Chains A and B, each alone.
Chain A
Amino acid sequence: AQRVTQPEKLLSVFKGAPVELKCNYSYSGSPELFWYVQYSRQRLQLLLRHISRESIKGFTADLNKGETSFHLKKPFAQEEDSAMYYCALKGGGYNKLIFGAGTRLAVHP
């Protein structure tokens, strides 16, 4: 079955601390994975996609097929990073996305 698991509902860190938001997936084919972010009172927006191997707002994510993971990392968290983060897997055709339950990141001053 296709599934995305984000084990942490809430991740609370202090400003300047490293951040790692965990994402594990279950998929039989070659996965396409994404991270979406939702800031307070804003719409969901694409943060990263594994296929482009980019770094956005200091965040990176590496696809590890052996561990079936796509963890999101940032070396030094900022208060403006506080948001809800969703990991998503493209699966089932027609560009359908399967989302994880989300992790709320809270960065404290």
Chain B
Amino acid sequence: NAGVTQTPKFQVLKTGQSMTLQCAQDMNHNSMYWYRQDPGMGLRLIYYSASEGTTDKGEVPNGYNVSRLNKREFSLRLESAAPSQTSVYFCASIQESNYGYTFGSGTRLTVV
């Protein structure tokens, strides 16, 4: 009964390095989302996937790419990390008939 699983939980990157944040859900949800959480700014949508095989930009997509590998998995990639991408990243999923998101536990990323 895992829900939404994110890996890693913590990561430190040097400026210019790349990495992929992984997200998987076992609830057979159609839609998945990536948000970043910054103090004083709440959660802002980076990318989302309304269904398997589709992805779209959210509010703050610059510097990120995503892949909806299958219905379960939705990954977020930073090609060339910048200090401005230091944040906590949350993955979430939802079924069409369910109004509430299920969130992962988050990835705390620091870019130095």
Interface residues of A (CB under 8 A from B): 4, 6, 9, 32, 34, 36, 42-46, 49, 51, 86, 90, 94-102
CA distance A96 to B44 in the complex (A): 10
Interface residues of B (CB under 8 A from A): 31, 33, 35, 40-45, 48, 50, 56, 58, 90, 92, 94, 96, 99-101, 103-106
Taking CB as reference atom, which chain B residue is nearest A41? B105
CA distance A42 to B65 in the complex (A): 26
Contact with B45, one of A6, A96, A101 (Cβ below 8 angstroms): A96
Contact at B100–A43, with CB atoms within 8 Å?
no
Contact at A94–B90, with CB atoms within 8 Å?
no
Contact with B42, one of A43, A95, A102 (Cβ below 8 angstroms): A102
Taking CB as reference atom, which chain A residue is nearest B94? A95
Contact at A86–B43, with CB atoms within 8 Å?
yes
Contact at A43–B41, with CB atoms within 8 Å?
no
Contact with A86, one of B31, B42, B45, B48 (Cβ below 8 angstroms): B42
Q: List the 4 closest A-B pairs by CB distance, nearest first.
A: A46-B100, A99-B42, A99-B43, A44-B103
Contact with A34, one of B92, B100, B105 (Cβ below 8 angstroms): B100
Contact at A94–B56, with CB atoms within 8 Å?
yes
Taking CB as reference atom, which chain B residue is nearest A6? B42
CA distance A29 to B66 in the complex (A): 30
Contact at B101–A94, with CB atoms within 8 Å?
no
Q: CB-CB < 8 A to A44: which residues of B? A: 43, 90, 92, 101, 103
Taking CB as reference atom, which chain B residue is nearest A90? B99
Residue from A34, A95, A102 having most chain B Cβ neighbours under 10 A: A95
Q: List 22 A-B contacts (CB under 8 A).
A: A4-B42, A6-B42, A9-B40, A34-B100, A43-B105, A43-B106, A44-B43, A44-B90, A46-B100, A49-B100, A51-B99, A94-B31, A95-B94, A95-B96, A96-B33, A97-B33, A97-B43, A99-B35, A100-B42, A101-B40, A101-B41, A102-B42
A96 to chain B, nearest CB (A): 6
Taking CB as reference atom, which chain B residue is nearest A50? B99
Q: CB-CB < 8 A to B45: which residues of A? A: 96-98
